[in-house]
Chains A and B, each alone.
Chain A
Amino acid sequence: MKMSSDNPGVHALLLAAIAFVAALFLVIGNLVTKSPISQRQYEDLVRSLQIVIPEHLHDNDPTQEFVYLKGWQGRPVKIYRARRKGRITAVAFERYISGYSKIHLVMALDVSGKVLGVRVLDHEETPGLGDRIEIEKSDWITKFDGRSLDNTSTQDWGVKKDGGVFDQFTGATITPRAVVKAVHEGLVFFRQNKVRILTSPATGNRDEYERRAGS
């Protein structure tokens, strides 16, 4: 205890200085890793989009044709559009939802509003309990394939515990419940905004969306 002092101000200053150094390290770390991380996340997204939108449905590159529309809580949603011979055949969009942690998923629908596929891109749910939403650990996420608002009623869009048709996991209900809700909301969003989603001219970037939304 070489530097021990009776003056509490000294400790406060020392603590503040150490906190400052720690914050500095974190800022540098964030700056350095920011662009490689978003690059990795983009690669994950592209890989998932290739899986959820089947090859025979498109001859364009859906990751290059997208439109920003106003979505949940007024935030912009990026919607990817797959075309075949010029006609839109499928759309896909990402969602960030809350389970225990933030879950980032992507879902694809065909133009009739039927789910083509859902994939979880990123999450921090409890390993061994909530992580069965990942395709690598369980086929649970594929149970959405082919579901739509027409063939599955609103009451059925829930986990079995809540009277729905989707399995919950042993020891984890909150995670699958959140995913089921998100997929359902996605379908409702598509139905309500179908015309805008299918006919809005492709936007190049988010700035353009914000300019248009603002005007």
Chain B
Amino acid sequence: MSESETPGYGRIIADGLWTRNVVLAQLLALCPLMAVTGSATNGLGMGMATTFVLVASGFSVSLWRGLITPEIRIPVFVLIIASQVTLVEMAMNAWLHELYKGLGLFIPLIVTNCAILGRAEAFASRQKVLPSMVDGLFMGIGFTTVLVIIGAIREIFGSGTLFANASLLLGKHFSFLETVVFEDYKGFLLFVLPPGGFFVLGFLVAFKNIIDGALENRARAQEAAPAGHPSAKEAH
């Protein structure tokens, strides 16, 4: 694959967390997003498993990039990602069985996550190994953050709890996270079902655009100010 200029690590991190956030900017991976963000805990589980695979696939796609011709790159990426996910699943089931029982449900869903294919295509196949892994890590963290936020909002309004069953995913030490927000809450079905996910996602994307718009306006104002200054002097 053709090497393109490697962006700095600061740029990679900012892209992953905000500028090119998998969900909020690229609008990828919506299928697993809608399926699992009924609760914050499930969002966190899906996010962690996805992050791991993003780093691993960034590593292997980048490592093999010299060998893969553009004509066959898509099937090869799918092959690498799918076999890697399967290996991770088998190893976790065998040696990290308790964690597998918590995270295991999310792993098969990752194979279908187009964000991973997207990063392989857009980044790892053109960049060196280390930047590809950093890109995977921060794309994953950005994805996880959005999943947890959407999961938390849907869980609070849909079921009246927050981080329910967190101790099943993270171990007993994290049971302090489990909160009941509204006692005797009857539940709000819309938020539990996928349409609620779309609503919350829509608001979050709008929120990001408002912030980006405000930042842009401020930057433009700052650019305009020094330019206006000397001309104002001349007038005097």
Contact = CB atoms under 8 A, between A and B. Distances in A.
A171 interface: yes
B180 interface: no
A70 to B, nearest CB: 30
A1 B35 contact: no
A5 B72 CA distance: 11
Interface stretch (A17-25, A74-82, A152-160): A17-25
Contacts of A18: 64, 67-68, 76, 79
Interface in A18-47: 18-19, 22-23, 25-26, 29-30, 32-33, 36-37, 40
A128 B35 contact: yes
Interface stretch (B8-16, B82-90, B171-179): B82-90
Interface string A163-176: 00000001100000
Contacts of B94: 32-33, 36-37, 40
Contact of B66 (A2, A5, A23): A2
Contact of A15 (B70, B76, B86, B194): B76
A127 interface: yes
Interface string B83-123: 10011001101110100000011101000000000000000
A32 B83 CA distance: 15
A11 interface: yes
Contact of A14 (B67, B80, B187, B194): B67
B37 to A, nearest CB: 8
A32 B94 CA distance: 9
A28 B59 CA distance: 20
A131 B105 contact: yes
A11 B187 CA distance: 55
A3 B69 contact: yes
A15 B75 contact: yes
Contacts of B165: 136-137
Contact of A128 (B38, B70, B90): B38
Given A29-B90, A128-B39, A14 B105 contact: no
Contacts of B83: 22-23, 25-26
Contacts of A14: 67-69, 72
A129 interface: yes
B93 to A, nearest CB: 5
A18 to B, nearest CB: 5
A126 interface: yes
Nearest to B154: A128
Given A33-B93, A124-B108, A1 B69 contact: yes
24 contacts: A3-B66, A14-B67, A14-B68, A18-B68, A19-B79, A23-B83, A25-B83, A26-B83, A26-B86, A29-B87, A29-B90, A29-B91, A30-B90, A33-B93, A37-B94, A40-B93, A40-B94, A123-B105, A124-B104, A128-B36, A128-B38, A128-B42, A170-B193, A171-B192
Given A124-B108, A127-B36, A128-B42, 11 more contacts: A11-B69, A11-B71, A14-B68, A18-B67, A30-B90, A32-B94, A33-B90, A124-B105, A127-B46, A128-B39, A136-B165
